Amino acid sequence: MTQTTRITTPFTTPFTTPFNGQSTAAEVMEGIDLRGRRAIVTGGASGIGVETARALAAAGAEVTIAVRDLDAGKRTADDIAATTSGASVVVAPLDLADRASVAAFVAAWEGPLHILVNNAGVMACPETRTPEGWELQFATNHLGHFALATGLRPALAAAGGARVVSVSSSAHLRSPVVFDDIHFNERPYDPWLAYGQSKTANVLFAVEAARRWAGDGIAVNALMPGGIPTGLQRHLEPDYIERRRALGSSTGVTWKNTEQGAATSVLLAASPLVEGVSGCYFEDNQEAEVVESGEGRGVAAYAVDPEAATLLWQVSADLLDL
């Protein structure tokens, strides 16, 4: 199958679907049959990852939850099995900030892979570095998923028409990837700028992977799931969510529950409505418009810049010795 790569520009008409910001993952997946398909959801034991895994499993996919906390993963798998008839969910260890863990996960994978949802992440944490000296949010949110996806590319290609979903955030509007100082070695560390550039990297990955992997029939898209109170906000002040909610529509963020938050992920992972769409950024189940600046809605022009996407790919491959 030949994929059509739609690199978003300010001059293209955004792709639309019948769904919206209040649609749930179950509604998006209604009538979709994934029997015989295999899927991986990173961070599938918490937040929207649970509902992403549940919706894919309910449609018949064999779902692997890739997690750091195996006990939490097993509890999630048991819950999905108990609440979803015929669900097939397995749990595998994966620490995205640990290169050896990612390599072990890739080496252990056998057979084709139809769906990869790069969902796990860390948000606005205190300054922390990996053993390599990399800033933790960039290392986890981008580099770990980059190593995972590129390592699994042969399995994705073998599936024929595979899809990769890169969960980004409207926080990407806070910062481009600062190539001169990605790891905050020279500039003062700012947890939100670090998170923002890691989420921009998630979009740029989709843009470049869509171009590079089109010949393998692999579609790659990024998304903003919406504002969902989950464990992702564990490093934030206790009243952060309440304060953001109080701002209402001025933030441009659609507040959702986890079932609604997983909807755009499963749309891009499995819906026939987006067949052939690749290299794009979605929010509220629609392709987002390109914006020059702002907060909340749209995709930053720098996040879909093909030159920045190519540069990030090379920088990432060099850091990971790929």
CA distance 149 to 66: 13
Main-chain dihedrals φ then ψ at residue 286, nearest 5 degrees: -130, 150
DSSP 8-state symbol, 129: B
CB 196 within 8 A of CB 174: yes
Alpha helices, DSSP H, located in 87-190:
99-108, 136-137, 145-151, 153-159
Q: Are strands 163-167 and 219-224 parallel, antiparallel or unpaired?
A: parallel
Q: Which of 189, 195, 281, 302 is catalytic?
A: 195
Q: Name the β-bridge partners of 59.
A: none
Query: Which residues lie closer than 8 Å to 175 by C-beta, 6 or more apart?
Result: 192, 193, 196, 197, 200
Q: Are strands 115-118 and 219-224 parallel, antiparallel or unpaired?
A: unpaired
Other C-beta atoms lying within 10 Å of the C-beta of residue 90: 13
Active site residue 195: yes
Question: Of the candidates 103, 89, 112, which has an alpha carbon nearest to the alpha carbon of residue 41?
Answer: 89
> Which two three-digit tokens encode residue 82?
């108990």
CA distance 191 to 234: 13
Give the active site residues.
Answer: 195
